[in-house]
Amino acid sequence: MVGERNTPEGYFSRRDSLMTITTYQVTGMSCGHCETAVRSEVAKIDGVERIDVSATDGVLTIESATPLVDADVLAAVDEAGYDAVRA
Ligand SMILES: [Cu+2]
């Protein structure tokens, strides 16, 4: 399975014990469309395997194969039109 790319939204993580989970607090989201916008931008970041985002509480949780660079995530959220800080 090495070398196979998973879709970021997928739940196919086969190395869960090695996953890095990082949480951010996002401000400005109000509905499901906001969640989708954030999700689609964050999904472009290398190594991202799973994304959980909630407009209700503003929590963005990212599961990745390697540790994330905060600046990449903050830029992705900014691209979607919102602000994020590392939680
Ligand atoms: Cu919205």
CB within 5 A of ion ligand 1: which residues? 30-31, 33-34
**Which tens digit of pLDDT belongs to each residue from 54-68?**
999 999 999 999 999
By the 10 Å C-beta count (0-12 exposed, 13-18 middle, 19+ buried), 76 is classed as buried
Amino acid letter at 46? D
Q: What is the pLDDT of residue 42?
A: 98
Q: Cα(28) to centroid of ligand 1, in Å?
A: 8
Q: What is the pLDDT of residue 3?
A: 46
- pLDDT > 60? residue 80: yes
- The domain ranges of the chain are 29-86
**Which tens digit of pLDDT belongs to each residue from 5-55?**
555 554 555 555 679 999 999 999 999 999 999 999 999 999 999 999 999
CA distance 19 to 85: 21
- Is domain 29-86 classified as CATH 3.20.20.70? no
DSSP for 40-57, written as a single string = HHHTTSTTEEEEEE-TTT
Q: Cα(36) to centroid of ligand 1, in Å?
A: 8
Mean pLDDT for 57-81 is: 97
